[in-house]
Amino acid sequence: MPDLGEHSMSEQWFADCGGLDNFLAEYWQRKPLLIRQALPGFSSPLEADELAGLALEEDIESRLIVESKASPYWTLQCGPFAEESFQSLPASHWTLLVQAVDQWVPEVHDLLRHFDFLPQWRVDDIMISYAADQGSVGPHFDQYDVFLLQADGQRRWRLGQHCDANTPLLKGPALSIIDNFEQSEEWLLEPGDMLYLPPGLAHWGIAEGECMTYSVGFRAPRASELIGDLATELLSKSSGNGSGTGELIYRDPTLTATMAKGVIDDSFIDEVKNLLLRQLDDKEQLAQWFARFMTTRKYPDLDLETEPDDDAEEHSPSSIHFDGDTLLTRHPASRFAALAGDPANLAVDGELYPCSQAFATRLADSRSLQISELGTLEVQDQALLDTLLDNGSLLIDG
């Protein structure tokens, strides 16, 4: 893997399409972009056997897709797998996909720094797929943004139509395979090449020989998911407020005798709509909930593993001596975001912590930093730093 330097390569990536600002305005969530040699000389830090080893682990999400000539054409198996699963595979036409490899392999996680031109809390994960010759997952579309980095071998990408919930899908496969793929473009990607795809665009990647592809995906929660989580939070706050004082309460519109019979009058619906909109109009409450929601870890039920030295003595964070060169790194599974305010808030792994604005912004924008970059800490900020080290969201590097 080449030394890619400390700075993002985004300026080089988007030079041919008018620069980063033009990419964000004209391409992001709108149309695809092929970036030749986005990472020159790149090769996967993970071998195919090592990727297969991750797929054996119970805590790691993985899938195996095998293509055949008969219906349902593509079959899906979900991990964890046994070693025998791989020994019985055909010589071609299959793909292994492993999610969130950035949480388990530091060299893969390090790639995320090149995508910091987008909000870090928008990142979902880096999925890695290994395909035997002619392996693919079929023509399909996703509802999220993704950068497809070719790591090893070659993959031919065919792009098709824009899709939505009404796009016909093949009957039978457990996968969402497009029934009538309409190809519009075709590109062969070599190691180091990268393809950006917006949500809803049909695509079909086929391996030419063995190949490995890294998919840097970005979170795209559905409206129902957002509403459900917000409702849960509001209910939680309501149950903690015994009398319910201060809450918005439903009230009837101006009634008439005729409204007691027949169908529900539209004025009732308007009243409910206005009540919900007034609830959402609390921007501070909405911002705090959104920060918690977007920083919740991908797998919140998995404990953060800090891998302590068995021979080392245990110390509380406040007893550790920091010098200016001490390097702090974010746990690869953790998510950080900053909120403005007085005090400001730092959202970490679904929790909000009051702190100074400078402290919140610095930690939210830095995947790693030296202690000296934080300057002289206020008492509240020092206490929060201790908390984050104690719960494993921040780690001491080295």
CATH (domain of 366): 3.40.366.30
- One domain, residues 65 and 163: yes
- One domain, residues 36 and 150: yes
Which amino acid, one-letter code, is at 69? K
- One domain, residues 52 and 198: yes
Residue 50's domain spans which residues?
Answer: 9-218
Find all residues with CB under 8 Å of 73, minimum gap 6, and list them: 67, 138, 170, 172, 173, 177
Are 100 and 54 spatial neighbours (Cβ–Cβ below 8 Å)? Answer: no
Are 134 and 89 spatial neighbours (Cβ–Cβ below 8 Å)? Answer: no
Sign of the C-alpha dihedral computed for residues 117, 123, 126 and 129 taken in this order? negative
Helices marked H in 32-133 — which ranges?
A: 48-54, 83-87, 106-109
pLDDT tens track for 68-119 = 998 889 999 999 999 999 999 999 999 999 999 999 999 999 999 999 999 9
Which among 155, 292, 161 has a CA at the least distance from the CA of 232? 292
Specify if 292 maps to a domain: no
Output phi, psi for 208, to 5 deg.
Answer: -110, 95
pLDDT tens track for 35-49 = 999 999 999 999 999
Find all residues with CB under 8 Å of 134, minimum gap 6, and list them: 67, 92, 93, 206, 207, 208
Specify if 291 maps to a domain: no
Question: Which run of H or E residues covers position 383?
Answer: helix 379-391
- One domain, residues 55 and 36: yes
- One domain, residues 345 and 252: no
d(CA 47, CA 52): 9
- One domain, residues 56 and 183: yes
- One domain, residues 235 and 209: no
Query: pLDDT category, 236, cuts 50, 70, 90?
Result: confident
In the chain, the number of structural domains is 3
d(CA 20, CA 242): 51
pLDDT tens track for 254-311 = 999 999 999 999 999 999 999 999 999 999 999 999 999 999 999 999 988 654 444 4
Burial of 92 (0-12, 13-18, 19+ CB in 10 A): middle
- One domain, residues 103 and 230: no
pLDDT tens track for 321-380 = 567 689 999 999 999 999 999 899 999 999 999 999 999 999 999 999 999 999 999 999
Question: Rounded to two decimals, what is the model's pTM?
Answer: 0.92
Specify if 295 maps to a domain: no
Work out the angle between the directed axes of helices 283-295 and 223-239 (0-180°, nearest 10). 110
d(CA 172, CA 70): 11
- One domain, residues 214 and 230: no
- One domain, residues 162 and 263: no
